Amino acid sequence: MRLVLIEDDYDFGSALKKTLEKYTYGVDWFRTGDAGFDAIAAGNYLALILDLNLPGMNGFEIVSSLRKSGSDLPILILTAMDDQPSRLHGLELGADDCLVKPFDAEELLARVRALTRRPQFRLQSKLQWGNISLYPHELTVYRDDEELHLSHKEKHLLRLLMEYQDRYLSKNDLEYALYDCDNLVESNMIEVLVYSLRKKLGGNCIKCARGIGYRLRTDETAGASANHSHVS
């Protein structure tokens, strides 16, 4: 179970490597973007832990190059607390998650476990639900051939629901996946987001089981319902 770590700061990188190896992960650590990128191309890793400010190739260039090449390697980026634009840009380019410095060992390990247990289909080139198509790399959504104009968070919510069509996702699951890089999460943010997505896709598109969570409708009329249903 090997991870690749690209972090140029010696003390910080050394501490991360020791922490991960303590919990059974093997870690290949590189201090330049070029060396780390070459290792990824030649190796077979579970996930990438990536600082953004690196000598040689920077973190943004690495994320962009990997996703453009079709790589589905899970990527966790490391960012400074006061650098929200970089966090958002890294996610837009295709990183799966971000972790804000400083952080404790348990949070790092939880994020790595979450990344390495996600199903591989999450990064396939196209997700389909009825007549709704979502392209994860570009994060674009279409109903038949017409692009739907959804907010960034609406697209990510829909992506999660389409990836896990066979199960309910709890409110906590969705908060963790959608807001773990934001400073503050209001208690009703998921409900507001679901309501907004229902208005755009159709009122019956998302099922809610009280105390369990949310999932997309899976019956054969789901796509047609997304065309014709309305929120009352």
Q: What is the pLDDT of residue 186?
A: 61
Residues 144 and 114 in one domain: no
At 124, the pLDDT band (50, 70, 90 cuts) reads low
| Of 97, 118, 139, the domain-final residue | 118
What pTM did the predictor assign? Answer: 0.54
Residues 139 and 114 in one domain: no
Residues 72 and 38 in one domain: yes
Residues 132 and 211 in one domain: yes
- Roughly how many angstroms between the first and final C-alpha of the chain, as a whole number? 50
Residues 25 and 74 in one domain: yes
Q: What is the pLDDT of residue 80?
A: 79
Alpha helices for the chain (secondary structure H): 10-22, 33-42, 59-68, 84-93, 105-117, 152-163, 171-179, 189-201, 222-228
| Of 93, 118, 143, the domain-final residue | 118
185-231 tens-digit pLDDT = 567 888 999 999 999 998 788 999 888 899 998 753 444 444 433 33
Query: Out of 60-69, 169-178, 214-223, which region has the weakest mean confidence (pLDDT)?
Result: 214-223
Q: What is the pLDDT of residue 70?
A: 83
Number of domains in the chain: 2
| Of 64, 83, 118, the domain-final residue | 118
Report the CATH number that the domain containing residue 148 is assigned in CATH: 1.10.10.10
* Burial state string for 84-102 with b = 16 or more CB within 10 A and e = fewer than 16: eebbebbbebbbbbbbbee
Measured at the CA of 182, the angle between CA 119 and CA 214, to 5 degrees, comes to 45
Q: What is the pLDDT of residue 72?
A: 83
Average pLDDT over residues 160-175: 82
Is pLDDT at 88 greater than 80 in this prediction? Answer: yes
Q: What is the pLDDT of residue 175?
A: 77
Average pLDDT over residues 73-96: 85
Residues 220 and 159 in one domain: yes
The residue segments making up the domain with residue 145 are 122-228
Residues 69 and 151 in one domain: no
The residue type found at 35 is A
Q: What is the pLDDT of residue 148?
A: 93
Q: What is the pLDDT of residue 5?
A: 95
